């Protein structure tokens, strides 16, 4: 035991399913003498608690020393060139590390939505301030000091944002249930998330802070009215009004820029997700149901009892009505589990070539590839004849054939897995080459894999895969009955369709896409509302001007062009800034993208045009209202 660690883990450390939500029972790992001698398998992860005062760096140093000592003792397993060793990771990184980029991006998206909402709030307050300029002027004329007005206006904006915060909490109570239901399997420890005092306090602080921060500019503008102008002109055409317009325009430009960044991010993730869904996984997941079986060591010691049990299950399941084919594997594609093994290739001296093979290993029964409908490219599949006593056989995938036998036929080549007694070494001949399967993820290129017949590499824990002619879920109860008729104590665990397995493998991406999509839609809506608000206010503010222009000959389309043109000008400036920001920020998304560039031109263009379309629509309604302005009223209005 390395001195940096303490074992066993204290019991309280295991309470509450700290390691995996699915585990109900924990049992100690016990290895046989033979298993302890095997150094080719790498199926176990090790977890340990660092002793108090020991850093992960110190632990890593100690493990480096230990593994360095293995190298001269077990040259064939731990040659320097293979890069094998032990690496210390924090448990938190291990559990949530994979989700960290996605969660950080979502946090960024939330911040952007908050900023856009704040910009909207400021725009509204500015518009309101503009319409109250005369009121403020009268208040000042009657003796109200600027500080008093400022306080009065800030209370209003803080009140607004606090009401918004309360509404947000109500929405969050509802949203959290949805989020927990949707993302429980995707985001680690999501079920532990709740609206506690910290969240409520933070919401209150953010509400008050945004109310003050974004309310201060409109409040300052309104608290200092230009008395003479405001009282004389009734607020029309004063220079403070012009300043307010500039600020309002700048805010709308910012909203558009921020919304564009979010939309482009969401667009890239969506396109990436669509590409991912189109990836051929190397198998057909439709109409296949899977279930895990794990035979207890005492009842089924390794070898014949295990092989016989699984053979009997297959015999009975295959005879069930509706079942086309059935097979077992020890590792299901896209399920998140994996196991690899090192091997030697006949006729090659790995110490000389410095190529130390170690690839993914699977133990399967003969019909496995028929269940998965993975194509046979060369040679043959396994048969019943490939039993424990028969000569060793192995099927490899295309990636492995290309890697180890490039330019030659891999069939009939031989490999072995070593043995402590060189006289007992068993050779396994390649009898077939199959198509590649995306095992670790649709976004991960297929790795070299080799398959052994289950009787020649028997595992007690296997996964049953059954292909049927129709919806395979109908088979589940029958399967349970058949297995219990063989062994009444044998449970069938984690029953799910292969489609579900494949779907769950992209669930984190689906969740990121869905959440970012929601945030981007909110951003788009807010930007649309912002443009609508600004243009509506502009139309009201320019009623007189529009009336004059119509009196001077402007037709409806001239007015439309003028109002929509103003909106499009703002959108244009916002889009340019947004595109630059997006170019700078989408780099951060690169890790989450599949088969899509972070600078994908189509997405950038499509999103920009969509945003421009929404802006056009948002400005068209007030523009249309402007064209209905009655010059008679406009010219007599406050003239």
Task: Give contact residues for other proteins (rule: CB under 8 A).
Answer: 237, 242, 544-545, 548-556, 558, 630-632, 635-636, 639
Q: How many whole angstroms separate alpha carbon 500 and alpha carbon 494?
A: 11
The four Cα atoms 602, 603, 604, 608 give a dihedral, to 10 degrees, of: 110
Q: How many whole angstroms separate alpha carbon 223 and alpha carbon 219?
A: 6
Q: How many whole angstroms separate alpha carbon 394 and alpha carbon 458?
A: 14
First to last CA, the chain: 91
Cα–Cα nearest to 567, from 525, 531, 537 = 531
Contact between 260 and 579 under an 8 Å Cβ cutoff? The reply is: yes
| Nearer of residues 494 and 636 to other proteins, judged by Cβ | 636
| Pure H helices in 227-383 | 227-233, 239-277, 304-318, 350-353, 368-372
Q: How many whole angstroms separate alpha carbon 98 and alpha carbon 189?
A: 13
Cα–Cα nearest to 592, from 522, 532, 531, 515 = 515
**Across 295-382, where does the E strand assignment appear?**
323-329, 340-342, 344-345, 358-364, 376-379
CA 350 centroid distance within chain: 40
In this structure, the strands spanning 340-342 and 358-364 are antiparallel
Contact between 200 and 187 under an 8 Å Cβ cutoff? The reply is: no
SS3 (DSSP) at 332: coil
| 484 Cβ neighbours under 8 A, 6+ residues apart | 490
CB neighbour class for 199 (10 Å; exposed up to 12, middle 13-18, buried from 19): middle
Q: How many whole angstroms separate alpha carbon 618 and alpha carbon 611?
A: 10
Q: How many whole angstroms separate alpha carbon 539 and alpha carbon 567?
A: 11
The label of the residue with tokens 């006593």 reads: 389
Contact between 252 and 260 under an 8 Å Cβ cutoff? The reply is: no
Q: Which one-letter DSSP state was computed for residue 616?
A: H
Cα–Cα nearest to 467, from 294, 301, 283, 227 = 283
Q: How many whole angstroms separate alpha carbon 639 and alpha carbon 630?
A: 14
Q: How many whole angstroms separate alpha carbon 632 and alpha carbon 136?
A: 29
Contact between 304 and 389 under an 8 Å Cβ cutoff? The reply is: no
| 89 Cβ neighbours under 8 A, 6+ residues apart | 97
| Pure H helices in 411-555 | 476-486, 498-505, 507-541, 543-551
The label of the residue with tokens 């009842």 reads: 299
Number of Cβ atoms within 10 Å of the Cβ of 224: 14
């Amino acid at each position: 035991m390395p001195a940096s660690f303490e074992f066993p883990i204290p019991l309280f450390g295991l309470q509450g399913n700290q390691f995996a939500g699915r585990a109900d029972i924990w049992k100690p790992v016990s290895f046989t003498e033979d298993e302890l001698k095997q150094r080719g398998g790498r199926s176990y992860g090790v977890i340990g608690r660092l002793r108090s005062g020991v850093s992960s760096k110190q632990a890593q140093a100690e493990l480096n020393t230990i593994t360095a000592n293995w190298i001269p003792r077990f040259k064939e397993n731990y040659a320097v060139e293979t890069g094998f060793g032990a690496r210390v990771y924090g448990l938190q990184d291990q559990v949530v590390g994979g989700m960290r980029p996605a969660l950080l991006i979502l946090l960024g998206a939330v911040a952007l939505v908050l900023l856009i909402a704040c910009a909207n709030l400021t725009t509204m307050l500015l518009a309101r301030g503009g319409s109250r300029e005369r009121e403020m002027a009268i208040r000042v004329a009657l003796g109200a000091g600027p500080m008093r007005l400022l306080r009065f206006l800030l209370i209003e904006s803080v009140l607004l944002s606090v009401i918004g915060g309360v509404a947000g909490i109500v929405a969050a109570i509802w949203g959290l249930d949805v989020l927990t239901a949707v993302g429980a399997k995707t985001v680690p420890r999501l079920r532990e998330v709740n609206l506690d005092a910290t969240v409520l306090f933070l919401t209150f602080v953010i509400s008050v802070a945004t109310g003050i921060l974004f309310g201060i500019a409109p409040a300052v503008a309104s608290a200092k009215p230009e008395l003479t102008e405001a009282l004389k002109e009734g607020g029309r055409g004063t220079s403070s009004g012009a300043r307010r317009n500039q600020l309002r325009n700048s805010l709308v430009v910012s909203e558009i820029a921020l919304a564009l960044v979010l939309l482009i991010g969401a667009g890239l993730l969506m396109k990436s997700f669509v590409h991912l869904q189109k990836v051929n996984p190397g198998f057909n997941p439709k109409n296949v149901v899977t279930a895990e079986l794990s035979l207890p060591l005492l009842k089924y010691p390794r070898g014949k009892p295990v092989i016989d049990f699984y053979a009997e299950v297959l015999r009975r399941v295959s005879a069930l009505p509706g079942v086309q084919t059935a097979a077992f594997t020890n590792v299901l594609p896209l399920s998140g589990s994996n196991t690899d093994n090192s091997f030697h290739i006949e006729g090659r001296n790995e110490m000389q070539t410095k190529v130390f093979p170690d690839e993914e290993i699977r133990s399967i029964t003969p019909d496995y590839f028929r269940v998965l409908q993975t194509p046979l490219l060369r040679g043959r599949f396994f048969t019943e004849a490939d039993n424990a006593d028969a000569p060793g056989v192995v099927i490899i995938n295309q990636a492995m054939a290309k890697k180890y036998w490039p330019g030659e036929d891999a069939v009939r080549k031989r490999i072995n897995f070593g043995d402590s007694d060189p006289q007992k070494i068993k050779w396994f001949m390649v009898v077939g080459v199959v198509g590649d399967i995306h095992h670790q993820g649709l976004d991960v290129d297929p790795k070299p894999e080799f398959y052994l017949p289950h009787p020649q590499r028997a595992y007690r824990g296997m996964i049953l895969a059954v292909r049927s002619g129709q919806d395979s879920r109908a088979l589940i109860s029958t399967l349970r009955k058949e297995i219990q008729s063989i062994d009444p104590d044998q449970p069938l665990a984690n029953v799910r369709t292969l489609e579900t397995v494949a779907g769950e493998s992209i669930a984190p991406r689906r969740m990121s896409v869905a959440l970012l999509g929601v945030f981007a839609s909110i951003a788009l809506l807010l930007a649309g509302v912002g443009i609508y608000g600004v243009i509506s206010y502009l139309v009201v503010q320019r009623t007189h001007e529009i009336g004059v222009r119509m009196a001077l000959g402007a037709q409806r389309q001239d007015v439309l062009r003028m109002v929509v043109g103003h909106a499009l000008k703002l959108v244009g400036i916002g889009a340019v800034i947004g595109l630059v920001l997006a170019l700078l920020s989408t780099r951060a998304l690169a890790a989450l993208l599949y088969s899509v560039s972070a600078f994908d031109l189509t997405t950038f263009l499509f999103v920009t045009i969509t945003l421009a379309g929404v802006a056009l629509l948002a400005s068209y309604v007030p523009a249309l209202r402007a064209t209905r302005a009655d010059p008679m009223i406009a010219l007599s209005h406050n003239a």
